[in-house]
Amino acid sequence: MITLTIDGQRVEAEEGQTILEAAKAAGIRIPTLCHLEGLSPRGSCRLCLVEVKNWNGKLVPACATPAQDGMEVVASSERLRNLRRMILELLFAERNHICAICPSNGHCELQDLACELGMDVVHFPYRFPGLKVDASHQRFVYDPNRCVLCGRCVRACSEVEGAMTLGFSGRGVYTLVEADLGGPWGASETCTGCGKCVQACPTGALVERGKATAEQEKRPQLVAEVTERRPRVQD
């Protein structure tokens, strides 16, 4: 067992647990977006940034940083609130997140985070990209305009389903999630149509075909449930 403090509170953690896991066990809320239980940590969205006091105030992603003995973690402060809000603003400004007409309206992690972190204005100019919606799949629709590139779908596809259909193409703001090596999702030879990507997606980027405004409810916890139930092979 190791001992650390989070926001002044003494917290015990097991060796190998992340700061996020330790905080969760102690009932301390740290916002996350690209993190999903059942998937490998990625640390790419930076919403779970915490400050480690005795590391000179260094900022680290709680989801991907192992808890260490004697660590003094700050999980909520004015500085962190401002940073997290700015990260969210950048996510909103990067693509077209129009909640009013989104199938995930009311069931969206990005929207919930904006409420939680008090993001009532975006200080950056919106980019309004005109990205092509892929509705070629028989059961699902991918709208890159609503994608935050968290990669949860890509990890669910490879780590849980094992299909390795979805992957990233491009760089930076031009990154897209694509099936196989590009081309319409509906033409993919590897997609099993399992839908775990849709359940894992935190926004309205991946939805079931035919879902109208506010109609798409998701079960991201399904990913962890599936991995729990899977028979383990002994090493």
Partner 1 sequence: MKKIKLPVTRIEGHGLITLRLGEDGEVAEAKFHVTEVRGFERFCRGRTIWEMPGITARICGICPVSHLLCSAKAGDAILAVRPPRAADKLRRLMNLGQFVQSHALSFFHLSSPDLLLGWDSDPARRNVFGLMEKHPELALDGIRLRAYGQKVIEALGGRKIHPAWAVPGGVRSPLSEEARDALAAGLPEAMRIVQDAISLYEEHLDDWAEEIATFGNFPSLFMSLVAEDGTWEHYGGRIRFVDADRNVVADGLDPASYQEYIGEKTEGWSYLKFPYYKEAGYPEGLYRVGPLARLNCCDRMGTPLADEALKRFRALADGKAVTSSFHYHYARLIEILASLERIGRYLEDPEVLSARVRAEAGINELEGVGVHEAPRGTLFHHYRVDEDGIIQWVNLIVSTGQNNLAMNRTVRQIAQRYLTGREITEGLLNRLEGGIRAYDPCLSCSVHAVGRMPLKVQLFDQGGALISERARA
- Out of 116, 164, 210, 217, the only residue in the binding site for partner 1 (CB under 8 A) is 210
- Out of 25, 55, 57, 126, the only residue in the binding site for partner 1 (CB under 8 A) is 126
How far apart are CB 102 and partner 1 at their closest, in Å? Answer: 8
Query: Token pair of 117, please?
Result: 């972190």
120 binds partner 1, rule: CB under 8 A: no
- Out of 133, 164, 173, 187, the only residue in the binding site for partner 1 (CB under 8 A) is 133
CB atoms inside a 10 Å sphere around CB 60: 20
Binders of partner 1 in range 134-193 (CB under 8 A):
134-136, 141, 186
How far apart are CB 223 and partner 1 at their closest, in Å? Answer: 25
Report in angstroms the alpha-carbon separations of 135 from 86, 87, 139, 144, 232: 32, 29, 9, 11, 36
**Measured distance CA(76)–CA(139) in Å, rounded:** 41
CA neighbor of 87 nearest in space, from 36, 130, 124: 124
- Out of 1, 115, 121, 233, the only residue in the binding site for partner 1 (CB under 8 A) is 121
How far apart are CB 54 and partner 1 at their closest, in Å? Answer: 39
Query: Token pair of 128, please?
Result: 């309004």
Binders of partner 1 in range 57-116 (CB under 8 A):
98, 100-101, 103
Interhelix angle 109-116/78-94, rounded to 10 degrees, is: 140
- Length of the chain equals 235
How far apart are CB 174 and partner 1 at their closest, in Å? Answer: 18
Query: Token pair of 94, please?
Result: 């990067």
Count of positions on this chain that bind partner 1 (CB under 8 A): 22
Residues that bind partner 1 (CB under 8 A): 98, 100-101, 103, 121, 123, 126, 130, 132-136, 141, 186, 209-215
